[in-house]
Chain A
Amino acid sequence: MTSVAGDTAIRLADAVVALGGFPALAGASMSVERGELVALRGANGTGKSTLLRLCAGLVPLARGGATVLGVDLADDRVAVRQLVGLLGHRNGLYAELTCRENVAFTAQLVGASPNDVDDALQRLGIDARVAVTRAGALSAGQRRRTALASLIVRRAQLWLLDEPHAGLDTAARNELDVILRDATRSGATVLYTTHEVDRAGLATPRTVTLSGGCVTSDVSSKFGVAQ
């Protein structure tokens, strides 16, 4: 493992990720400090999801440099997995397990307590009735909340969220924004992708735009919600 400066959560230097021979990330460079809330914008196929999966240690770095939470991904990308929480397009839930059982399973894997499970469910507004409902019978929004509760229970230092607002109604989206800001207040770093210009501009202090697998702009918004 190679350490970087303690305040840096993510540092990418000309990072290249090849998927089936295609450079999905073609020399991306960016840096995210610990405790930051950053939105990743870009059209479909510009490498947003790949960047998140790279940071989660789920795809190999082909060229360039990538250091996440002090772990050099070129050396050991498995080591970073327990430090980050990734929520992709899909929720990663087991349809036959209840909402609570799904969160409790994650808790077991990471050594969290049943109290942590209850806290996470409560924080996401998941009531007792929903908690005992099988994930396969939940609405899209409820499944998303369950997946987020699993993320909370992991106490991840870095949250990597791929379109976390997708499938949520307006109230739930606003609640999610509050949850993300709370996460950064408690010391976590949050990097999420979004297609929504307004959400990236108003709800997030910093917006990074990807195009063609490279970072093309990096803007800090004065309208962004202060942390």
Chain B
Amino acid sequence: MNTIVAVAKKDLRIEWRTRTLLARVVPFALLVLVLFAVALDSEALLLRAAAGLVWMAMLFSTMLVVQRAFDIETSDAAMDSLLACTAQPSRVFYGKALSLFVQLFALAAVLVTAAVVLYGASVNGNRVVLLVTVVVTATGGLATVGTLYGAVVANMTGRDSLLPLLALPVLAPLLIAASRATEAAFGSQTIDLANGWAWVGVLVVYAIVFGSAGAAAFSPLTESDS
């Protein structure tokens, strides 16, 4: 647990110093939402598509955050030192995933608020609980998949373009589940609350599967044999 917390705190401290999330990722994600609004130019259509657009913006932004999270490990070969200090690389995986989770959760909060303001989406009553649960579970899935694929491409040439190519197809089920569940939380006519909770179940399973697989695969993925 000490290693997980230490790695997460280290990553968050670096993020706080560099303000990558605040200065680059949040403006980018908000710009995506604004451009969607301009492109669709229909209040009814925007309200219908709000949930999907929020999670599309989250997916694109996740790629930026993940790249940054692994750039700091590879720029001076810090990952080697990190792995040399721990007998359990899975703890490094969970530490980095925890840091990503915190950053992505903050980003999701901003984007959901932006969807309410820009698209007229509304959340009230017990739908708030569903929305918070969706954000927590979907962000957990994004963080674990992001950490796993960030490790896969960390030592590769052209990792900036490889990461989205590899990770986005894997994230498609999460995009669908998170969008549908968020639609229910936004009070869409096309899906009721019960179905929204069913999609949350999918998100929970997704986060657990990738959380476990990522921890198991992290060691062989990050160890250089070349």
A109 neighbours in B (Cβ, 8 Å): 2-3, 6, 82, 85-86
A-B residue pairs in contact (CB < 8 Å), sample of 24: A53-B224, A58-B83, A58-B84, A59-B223, A81-B83, A81-B84, A82-B86, A84-B84, A86-B80, A86-B81, A88-B77, A90-B76, A92-B80, A92-B81, A92-B82, A93-B78, A95-B72, A96-B13, A96-B18, A97-B14, A106-B81, A109-B3, A109-B86, A111-B2
Tally of A interface residues using CB under 8 Å: 35
A-B contact count (CB 8 A): 82
Contact between chains at A58 and B80 (CB < 8 Å) = yes
| Residues of chain A contacted by B225 (CB below 8 angstroms) | 19, 59-60
Question: Which chain B residues have a beta carbon within 8 Å of chain A's beta carbons?
Answer: 2-3, 6, 10, 13-14, 17-18, 72, 75-78, 80-87, 89, 219, 223-226
Which residue of A85, A88, A94, A111 is within 8 Å of B10 (Cβ)?
A: A94
A101 within 8 A of B: yes
Q: Which residues on A are within 8 Å of B, measured CB to CB? A: 19-20, 53, 56-60, 78-79, 81-82, 84-86, 88-97, 101, 105-106, 108-111, 134, 150, 154
Ordered nearest first, which 3 A-B pairs have the shortest CB separation? Answer: A92-B81, A90-B77, A109-B85
- Chain A binding surface, main DSSP class: loop
Give the Cβ gap from B81 to chain A, nearest Cβ, in Å: 3
Majority DSSP secondary structure for residues of B touching A:
helix
Q: How far is the CA of A177 from the CA of B219 in the complex (A)?
A: 34
Task: Please pick, from B14, B76, B82, B223, the residue contacting A91 in the complex, using a CB distance under 8 A.
Answer: B76
Residue of B nearest to A17 (CB): B225
CA distance A91 to B87 in the complex (A): 20
In the bound complex, residues from chain B placing their C-beta under 8 Å from that of A53 are: 224
The distance in angstroms between the C-alpha atoms of A101 and B11, with both chains bound, is 12
Partner of A150, one of B2, B13, B81, B86: B81
Q: How far is the CA of A101 from the CA of B84 in the complex (A)?
A: 18
- Compute how far the CA of A58 lies from the CA of B219 in the bound complex, rounded to whole angstroms: 10
Chain A residue contacts of B82, Cβ below 8 A: 92, 109
Q: How far is the CA of A90 from the CA of B84 in the complex (A)?
A: 14
Cross-chain contact A105 with B2 (CB below 8 angstroms): no
Are B6 and A94 within 8 A (Cβ)?
no
B84–A95 CB distance below 8 A? no
Q: Which residue of A lies closest to B75 (CB)?
A: A95
Contact of B13 with A78 in the complex, beta carbons under 8 Å: no
A146 CB to closest chain B CB (Å) equals 11
Q: Is the CB of A20 within 8 A of B224?
A: no
A78 to B86, CA, bound (A): 9
